[in-house]
Amino acid sequence: MSELTPREIVNELDRYIIGQHDAKRAVAVALRSRWRRMQLPAEMRNEITPKNILMIGPTGVGKTEIARRLATLANAPFVKVEATKFTEVGYVGKDVESIIRDLADGAYKLTREQAIKRVRSQAEDRAEDRILDALLPRRQSPPTDWSHDAPAAPAIDSDTRQKLRKQLREGALDEREIELDIA
C-alpha cells in the first residue's frame, strides 16, 4: 500500500469497477491519508483525526465492490454487514460481537495467507532439495580406521544434480516413487 498514490489506487479500482469516479477518488485519497497519518510520530498522529467515508446510494451501484477492492489493496480484512437490520424493531440476527469475530477471522486468514506467501518459495526449494537428495544420495567416504585426515569422497557432480533438478521441474520424474523420513 505504501507505494500506491491516490491516482494509482483509482487506476487499480478502474480495472474492476466501471463508473463511480468521485467515489473511487474519495476512497483513494482517504486511504492514502490514513497511511500517511500512520507514518507520523505517535504524538502528532493523535492530533490528526482521520476522515471517514459513508457511501450512500441505491443497490447495485458498486459501493460494496469499491470497499472490497480497497480492502484487498490495503491488505485489510473485509466484512459486509447489512446495517439496516440493526434499525428494525425486534432485530434478530448477527450481533455486534459476531461481526467483530468475523472481522478478526478475516484478519487472521489474511495474515496467514501473507505468511504462507513469504515462505512458499523457500519451502519449495527445500522440498526440491529433499527430493533430489532422495533421488541422488550424496556419497560418503568409506570408514577408515588409520587416519582422520583421509580425504572425503568427491561430492556429487553439481552438473548431475542440476540436470536432475531440471528433469524434476519439467515433470520428467513425476512417476518415480521415493520414500522420505519426516521428523
Contacts of residue 1, defined as CB under 8 A and 6 or more positions apart, other chains included, come to 31, 35, 73, 74, 75
Contact indicator for 47, 8 with CB cutoff of 8 Å: no
Classify domain 6-115 at the CATH class level.
Answer: alpha beta
Residue 116 is predicted with a pLDDT of 92
Contact indicator for 90, 129 with CB cutoff of 8 Å: no
Residue 112 is predicted with a pLDDT of 93
- Provide the residue ranges of all domains of the chain, joining segments of one domain with +: 6-115, 119-170
Integer Cα distance of 32 and 151 in angstroms:
62
Structure-block grid coordinates of residue 11:
487506476
Residues shown for the chain: 183
Residue 106 is predicted with a pLDDT of 87
Ranges in the chain, pLDDT < 50? 153
